[in-house]
Amino acid sequence: MSLGLGLNMAKTKVSGVSFDADAQAFIDAASITDATQKDAINTLVIALKDGGVWVKSLALYPMVGGTAAKHKFNLKDPRDLNAAFRLTFFGGWTHGANGALPNGTTAYADTFLVPSVDIADANDGHLSYYSRTDNIGSYMDIGCSGLSSSFDLSCKFTGNIGVVAINMADSNTFAYSGTTNAFFIASQNNVNDVRRMFKNGVLLNNSSVAQNVNPDNSIAVGARNSGAARSFFSARECAFASAGLGFTDAEMLSFYNAVQAFNTSLSRQV
C-alpha cells in the first residue's frame, strides 16, 4: 500500500535498507544483528511469499542466530508466546551458526502447534526438516502422535526406511537408503489418502494410505511427541523446520529453492 508520500507500508526502512515488515519483525524479536543473516531472512520471507509457501505455513523455524534464544522464534509469528508456536527447547541441544543439533538421547523442542486444534482439515498438512547430518538411526526428526494417528517425518529410519505420516493410523514407511543431509518435506495437499515425501524439491515417495484424524498432541522438533512422552530422539542437525498446510508440487519446489538459497547465504547449505 502506498500513501502517495513515497512510503511503502509493506516495508520498513532501516538504515537506508528496506526490509519486508514480517522479516523485520522476526529480526527484531530474535535480536539478529549480523548483516548477512538479516539479508538472508529478508530474502527468505520474500521468496516464501512469492512461492505461495508463506500463507500455507503456520510455523517456520529458520534456526538462525546461533543460540537457543534466537533459534526459538517462529518466522511466521515472532512473538515470544506458546500461542505463536515459539519453540521451547528441552534436553541436550547444541546451538551454533549451522543450526540446532539434537543429541539423539534427550533433546526435543515443543512447537505448541497441535494438529487437531491448529490444522482444520486432516487431509491437509505438511512438515519439513532441513538436515545437515547424514546418518541412520531410530530418529523421528519432527512430529507427534495421538488419537491413534501420526503426523511425523523421518529422513531415514533404522532399517533404511523413510517415514512420512500426515494424520495416518500408522506411519507410512517406504524403502530408502539414500543420504539424509537434505531438505525433506512431507505433505498432503487435500488429496484424500495420499501422502508425499519430497527431498530437495524432488518427489521421493508418493503413497496412498488410509486417512485418519489429526493428532491431539503438539508437534515436536527433534522427536515424536506422544503426549505422555517423547520418543525417537533425532541426532540430525536442523537448519530449518516447519509445519502447516500441504503444498502443490510447484509450491514444494519454491519452498526448497527458498530454503536452500537461505542456507547458502549463511554458508551452511548441504
Partner 1 sequence: MIIVYKLTEIQKDIIINKRFDSDQYFNPIQDIDNNWIISKEEVDQSLAIWGWVKNLPAIEWKPKPEFL
Q: What residues line the site for partner 1 (CB under 8 A)? A: 67-69, 72, 88-94, 103-108, 138, 157, 163, 170-171, 173, 230-232
Instruction: For the CB of residue 52, give the shortest distance to partner 1 in the complex, in Å.
Output: 32
Instruction: For the CB of residue 114, give the shortest distance to partner 1 in the complex, in Å.
Output: 19
What burial letters (b/e) apply to 8-25, b meaning 16+ CB within 10 Å?
eeeebeeeeeebbebbbb
Instruction: For the CB of residue 228, give the shortest distance to partner 1 in the complex, in Å.
Output: 12
Residue number with CB closer to partner 1 (51 or 162): 162
Residues sharing a CB contact under 8 Å with residue 189, sequence separation 6 or more, in sequence order: 124, 196, 246, 247, 248
Residue number with CB closer to partner 1 (176 or 232): 232
Residue number with CB closer to partner 1 (171 or 189): 171
Residue number with CB closer to partner 1 (56 or 72): 72
- Shortest CA distance to 255 belongs to which of 237, 241, 236, 269? 241
Instruction: For the CB of residue 191, give the shortest distance to partner 1 in the complex, in Å.
Output: 24
Query: Could you give the angle at the alpha carbon of 98 between the alpha carbons of 143 and 178, nearest 5°?
Result: 60
- Shortest CA distance to 38 belongs to which of 56, 64, 61, 57? 64
- Shortest CA distance to 166 belongs to which of 125, 226, 210? 125
Instruction: For the CB of residue 92, give the shortest distance to partner 1 in the complex, in Å.
Output: 3
Residue number with CB closer to partner 1 (72 or 199): 72
- At 175, the amino acid letter reads A
Beta strand 220-221 with 93-96 is unpaired
